[in-house]
Chain A
Amino acid sequence: MVRSVNQKTAYALILAGVLFLASTAATGWLFSNLINAQWWVSHTHQVIEKGRELMIAGIDLETGQRGYVCTQKELFLDPVKRSRIQFQNSPKQLFDLVSDDPAAQDIARKIQLLAIEKLAFVDQILQIAKTDPHKAADLIGTARGKVIMDKLRDQVKAMEDRQQQLLLERRASLEQLQWSVIGAVSIVTIFEVMTLGYVYLLNQKHSLAQEKIRRALEEENQRRRESEEALKIASDNLRRSNQDLQQFVYVASHDLQEPIRAIHGFTSILARKLEPVLTDETRKSMGQITSGAERMRTLIEGLLAYARVESRGEQFKSVDMDALINSIVQEDLKMRIDETGAQVTVEPLPVIQGDEGQLRMLFTNLISNALKYKRDEPPRVKVEAVSGKHHNVISVQDNGIGFDQKHADRIFVMFQRLHSRNQYEGTGIGLALCKRVAERHGGTITAKSTPGQGSTFIVSFPKALTQSQSQESVTLTTEA
């Protein structure tokens, strides 16, 4: 399962929060334990203090008792009375203080019993001292009181030891606890730092990745801008070059007409004026000048027509090819067909989107070629259509001289001819013009041929054609 960076961050932060709470709780617990331990220390001191109070009270009791026995003075009974109260209360209080520790309670109980025994013995001596001080003094001399006090001192000492030992134990366990908590908190803190570090790295990585993506996008945009710029420049250059070319063709064609007109015109004038003195030879030369000029005019007209395929193209509309081809055959080329005795068959043809004038030019050229490049027998020409899924294909087939298939591309190149003008008239522009028209329609023109058997020219038009390209160049160069 892939988690998003945001999800991961959220989980990590929750974990960090839990760890923080845990370490805070552990630290709090340690503090409460430390406070508790402090209490235990003071408690221990209280217990020890109580023991000492008891011992001091015992000494006071002994001193007062002895003073009274020796002097019989009531003065010594006051400290006895005070110490007595203390001597009675202290063991009780001690017992209460150690209520949590059975062992210490045993000792406290012994202390209590010893205190009672001592008090009883002191009372006994004081009672006897009222009547018989000597006997009382003797009784003190038996050292019984001392024995009790020694036992009491031992028990108090035992109590002290017991408390000191407990304190040490508690300190040790507290120390252990302290280290455990410190260790635990340290580990938790390390985990927390790691978690936060992970979050940081995760986000750092994420933002780095985002930065990388952003930079890549920026670079991509930059590249796109640059290539668009380059494309625009190239397109501008192409446009300019196209315009220049159109302008060139226009100027060349028009300016070339003038000298041709001059040659043609003045040759004609000369021919008329010199008619009486012309010989067959000079007349023939005059004729060659005139036909040269005419040929030049034909070439220029061809070039102009070629240039105008783009510059003077009409908007595309539906063209009924059936009607168009029949009109070419029955009207435009009727004379040629009759002259050559040709048989032209036109099969049903489709309606296509195109420039009618240019389509007429294209097929007039093809059919006229079929009539021109004939063998000795009368030409047979067939125009038919093969309608494909995406293309309308129209073919013009003849039984003429044909050509070597290896020249199939060459014939569509401007001024490329396969025959000398002595054999067949021509400018070498016709098929180049056909190709240009086909291309303006988004189509293609190809040729298949076998020498001596005839040729087939195949023009293919896309059914869904876009006119944008040709339209653009038309608007750019309508001046030509």
Chain B
Amino acid sequence: MVGKDIQILMVEDSPSDAELAVQAFKESKLLNVLNIVDNGQSALDYLFGEGEYADRIIPDLILLDLNLPVKNGHEVLIEIKKNDKLKRIPVIVLTTSDNEKDILDSYQLQASAYITKPVDFDKFIGVIKDIQNFYFVVAKIPHQK
């Protein structure tokens, strides 16, 4: 997969967190396209290719925040896992919460991983690098066409 454009969908309502993610991804050496939506409903519209997202490319990986307006992360996760085409996409919950119940619920709803956002920017970059390294170098995931 190295060398190809990797499509990533980030569902994040905090502009600063989104921007930090963008910066963190820039630091990595992998080619990737980071698409960002800021609420749960937009995430679903994007994934189902509805409205303004008709031309979107189905992402290879989803980074999902839990505290989202309109529809929260868990609801988005349920919708994704209900859909045959979408349920194979790895979903990484990336959130501020380290609440036991949020963690449990996320895995219960078949999230691939649950990661708490570090406050320290260097650690944040480390986390993004770890994600990229694991999913796009170490692990094999289905490539979306």
Query: Chain A: residues with CB nearer than 8 A to chain B?
Result: 250, 254, 257-262, 264-269, 293-294, 297, 312, 478-480
Cα distance A265–B14 when bound, in Å?
13
Instruction: From A261, A267, A294, A478, give the contact of B117 (CB < 8 A).
Output: A261
Q: Is the CB of A269 within 8 A of B121?
A: yes
- Tell me whether B100 and A312 are in contact (CB under 8 A): yes
- Name the distance in Å between B29's Cβ and chain A's nearest Cβ: 16
B19 to chain A: which residues have CB within 8 Å? 266
| B97 sits at the interface (CB 8 A) | yes
A288 to B66, CA, bound (A): 32
Given the known inter-chain contacts A261-B17, A262-B17, A262-B20, please indicate yes or no for A268 contacting B121, CB distance below 8 A. Answer: yes
Interface positions, chain B 113-137, Cβ under 8 Å from A, are: 117-122, 124
New contact pairs (19) apart from A258-B16, A265-B121, A479-B101, CB-CB < 8 Å: A254-B67, A254-B97, A257-B96, A257-B119, A259-B16, A260-B119, A261-B119, A261-B124, A262-B14, A262-B16, A265-B16, A265-B20, A265-B124, A266-B19, A266-B121, A269-B20, A297-B119, A479-B99, A480-B99
Pick the contact of B16: A261, A297, A478 (CB < 8 A). A261
The 7 closest A-B pairs by CB, nearest first: A262-B16, A265-B121, A268-B121, A265-B20, A297-B119, A254-B96, A261-B119
Question: Bound complex: CA of A191 vs CA of B97, how far in Å?
Answer: 92
A-B contact pairs, 20 of them (CB 8 A): A250-B99, A254-B67, A257-B117, A257-B119, A258-B17, A260-B119, A261-B16, A261-B117, A261-B119, A261-B124, A262-B14, A262-B16, A264-B120, A265-B23, A265-B124, A266-B16, A266-B19, A268-B121, A269-B20, A478-B100
Residue numbers in B under 8 Å from A261 (CB-CB): 16-17, 20, 117-119, 121, 124
Decide if A478 touches B101 in the complex (CB within 8 Å). yes
Which residues of A are found within 8 Å of B97, using beta-carbon distances?
254
Q: Which residue of B lies closest to A260 (CB)?
A: B119
Docked pose: A269 CA to B23 CA in angstroms: 8
Task: Enumerate chain B interface residues (CB-CB to A < 8 A).
Answer: 14, 16-17, 19-20, 23, 67, 96-97, 99-101, 117-122, 124
Q: Which of A258, A266, A479, A480 contacts B96 (CB 8 A)?
A: A258
A255 and chain B: residue at smallest CB distance: B96
Within 8 Å CB of B96, what residues of A?
254, 257-258
Chain B residue at minimum C-beta to C-beta distance from A262: B16
A259 to B96, CA, bound (A): 11
Is B101 a contact of A258 with CB atoms below 8 Å? Answer: no
Per the bound structure, the CA–CA distance linking A268 and B122 in Å amounts to: 8
Q: Residues of A contacting B100 with CB < 8 Å?
A: 312, 478
Min CB distance, A474 to chain B, in Å? Answer: 12
**In whole angstroms, how far apart are the Cα atoms of A293 and B100 in the complex?**
26
For the complex, what is the distance from the CA of A250 to the CA of B20, rounded to whole Å?
23
A264 touches B119 (CB 8 A): yes
Inter-chain CA distance A89–B19, complex, in Å, is 161
Q: In the complex, what distance in Å separates the CA atom of A268 from the CA atom of B19?
A: 13
Q: Name the CB-closest residue of B to A269.
A: B23
Residue numbers in B under 8 Å from A254 (CB-CB): 67, 96-97
Name the CB-closest residue of B to A298.
Answer: B119
Please give the distance in Å from A389's CB to the nearest CB on chain B: 38
In angstroms, how far is the closest chain B Cβ from the Cβ of A286? Answer: 12
Contacts of B117 in A (CB 8 A): 257, 261
Cα–Cα distance between A261 and B120 once the two chains are bound (Å)? 6
Assembled-state Cα–Cα distance A99/B119 (Å): 142
Residue of A nearest to B102 (CB): A479
Give the distance in Å from the alpha carbon of A297 to the alpha carbon of B120 in the complex.
Answer: 9
Which residues from A are CB-within-8-Å of B124? 261, 265
| Shortest Cβ distance from residue A161 to the other chain B in the assembled complex, whole angstroms | 129
Contacts of A259 in B (CB 8 A): 16
Residues of B within 8 A of A260 (CB): 119
A264 and B121 contact, Cβ closer than 8 Å, known pairs A254-B97, A478-B101, A479-B99: yes
Tell me, in angstroms, the Cα distance from A85 to B105 when the chains sit together: 143
Known: A261-B17, A479-B101. A293 touches B119 (CB 8 A): yes
Complex CA distance for A297 and B121, rounded to whole angstroms: 12
